[in-house]
Amino acid sequence: SVQAIAQPGKRTALVMILPQWGPQEMPGVEWSDVDGFFRWQREGERSLNFTTTNPPTTVQARYFLARDTAATKVVPLRQTVAVLQWYATPTGGNPSPGWWFGRDQWAQLSRGRVPWVAVSLRFPIDPRSALEDVEGDVLPLAQAVQEAIAQIMLIP
């Protein structure tokens, strides 16, 4: 699913989510699919941590600067973007499939499972900007997406 999010006074961001299709499906290839689609030239990858309050969660996301190498069907113009990626769960998030796997194994001991949704935020920025320059714009969007996904997952 792809949704454009327009923020007043800012560029339109894309929120791309790939939900888990069934209880046996595990995360693993989602980032390479997104990277391959946009054919990004990546720069300065690092972790970005954030928290949410409703419900309270802690997320560690992959954060990097990317330059489009070509126009796509989704984005008709080449852009420089800040990208934030993580697997969202009801209790937090992380870009590593291993992080989810450990939590899911623990949940299976009590006959439960940990649902996940792969999230990739694409936030257009000025080509001269650094990741630190736009962190304050990217974080509120990431927090809102994580809160919405976590709340939906918590509905019985």
DSSP characters over 60-121: EEEEEEEEESS--SS-SS--EEEEEEEEEETTEEES-HHHHHHHHHHHHTTT-----EEEEE
Amino acid, single-letter form, for residue 6? A
Q: What is the pLDDT of residues 96-127, one digit of tens each?
A: 988 888 888 888 898 888 888 999 999 999 98
Both tokens assigned to 93: 């998030």
Averaged over 125-151, what is the pLDDT?
92
- Looking at per-residue confidence, does 55 or 73 come out higher? 55
CA angle 146, 2, 82 (to 5 degrees): 65
**How would residue 11 be classed by pLDDT, with cut points 50, 70 and 90?**
confident
Inform me whether the pLDDT recorded for 60 exceeds 70: yes
pLDDT at site 37: 74
The rounded percent of the chain whose pLDDT value lies above 70 is 92
More confident residue, 75 or 79: 79
Average pLDDT (7-35) is: 77
pLDDT of amino acid 8 = 77
Q: What's the pTM value of the predicted model, to 2 decimals?
A: 0.87
The identity of residue 24, as a single letter, is: Q
Res 22: pLDDT: 72
Looking up tokens 């560029």 gives 11
ω into 55 cis (within 30 of 0) = yes
